[in-house]
Amino acid sequence: MIKQERLYKLAPYIEEAVEETFQTAKNNEANPNDFVLFLENAYKLEKIDKKYSSYALGPGHDVIFDKDRNEFIADFMELEYHYEQLYNSTEVEVKKKKMRNITTHMELMIYSHAWESIPNLRNLKHLANLVNSEKYDWELTIPETAKHEFIRKKIKGVFKTHNLRITDVISESYHSQLRNAFAHSQYTFFDDFIRLGNYEGEDWQVKNISYVDWADRFMKTALLFNFISKKKSEYRQRIGKGSREITIWVPEKAGKLKRKVIVYEQEFKRFNWKTNLKD
C-alpha cells in the first residue's frame, strides 16, 4: 500500500530525472525535429492506399489499446489515497491485513503490465535512441521475449553511458523477477514481507521484498511513466506554440530522407501534416 507522503517526496526526484532525459534527447537528436517525431508517436504503418504515405503521426493502435490501462492506473491511485485513510483509521488488524493484501495484488498487476506495455517500452527506447544521437526509428519494434535484456542493455545501458539519472530510476523500479512472480503467481504475503516463489539463488534475485521496498518500486514505476506521458504533452504544446510549422524528415528509398512540413493544430494540441503526405 502506497503512502501519499512518500509519493509526494519521490515525485520531484522522478520528474527531474525525466526532464533531464527529455532535454538530452532534444539536444542530441540526429536530424532536426526527430524529437518532435517522438512526441507525436510517429510510426510506419502497412500501406493500404498507394495514394498516401505509409508514415503516420498520432497514437496508433498500441497507444489506443493502452488507453484504458492508463485510465485504470489513474483511478487506482485515487482509490489508494482513500484506502490509506481507511487503513490508518482501522484498528482491527485482520481488516488492515486484508486491505494491504488487496492493494498489493493490484499494485503487482499494474507493475507487471507497466513493464510489459509496448507504448511504455517504445517511449523509453525512442528516448534512448535520441539521447544516443540515432536517427528516429519509424519502425521501432519491441521484442516479445527477453524483455529484461532489452531493458537492461538497449535502454538502461544507453542512459547509463550518458550518465543520466533516469538510469537509477529504472534500476530502483524495474526488476524482472517481480514482474515474472506476478505473471506466474509465484508470490505470497507474510506479515512483514512478500516471499517470491521464483527465487533460484542467483545473485541478482531476491528471496523476499519488504512492503516498504515494494511500495517504493511501485511508486517509482507509476511516476516514471506518468511523467514521461506528461512531458510529451508539455513539450509538444511548448514547441507548437513557438513554431507553428516545422520541418521533419521522412525516410525514402536507398536510405535517403525527404523533407516534409507539419503544422501545430492548437485545437487538438498536436502536430499534423501540412498537406496530405504522398510518397
Handedness of CA 154, 213, 75, 231 (dihedral sign): negative
What residue spans define the domains of the chain?
4-242
Reported as a single tens digit per residue, the pLDDT across 138-194 is 999 999 888 999 999 999 999 999 999 999 999 999 999 999 999 999 999 999 999
Q: Which of 255, 198, 216, 196 is nearest to 13 (CA)?
A: 216
Answer left, alpha or beta for residue 163, where phi above 0 means left and psi between -120 and 50 means alpha. left
Contact (CB, 8 A) for 194 and 187: yes
Reported as a single tens digit per residue, the pLDDT across 26-47 is 999 999 999 999 999 999 887 5
Mean pLDDT of the chain: 90
Pairing of β 208-210 and β 193-196: antiparallel
Nearest 5°: the CA angle 182, 185, 189 is 85
DSSP-assigned beta bridge partners for residue 258: 250
Question: DSSP label at 198?
Answer: T
Averaged pLDDT for residues 202-225: 95
- Kindly compute the dihedral angle of the four CA atoms of residues 135, 141, 147, 152, in this order, to the nearest 10 degrees: 0
Please tell me the total number of residues recorded for the chain in this structure: 279
Q: How far apart are CA 58 and CA 245, in angstroms?
A: 17
Confidence (pTM):
0.91
Reported as a single tens digit per residue, the pLDDT across 87-128 is 888 889 898 899 899 999 999 999 999 999 999 999 999 999
Which whole-number Å values give the CA distances from 111 to 116, 178, 190, in the listed order? 9, 9, 20
Which pLDDT score, from 0 to 100, does residue 138 have? 93
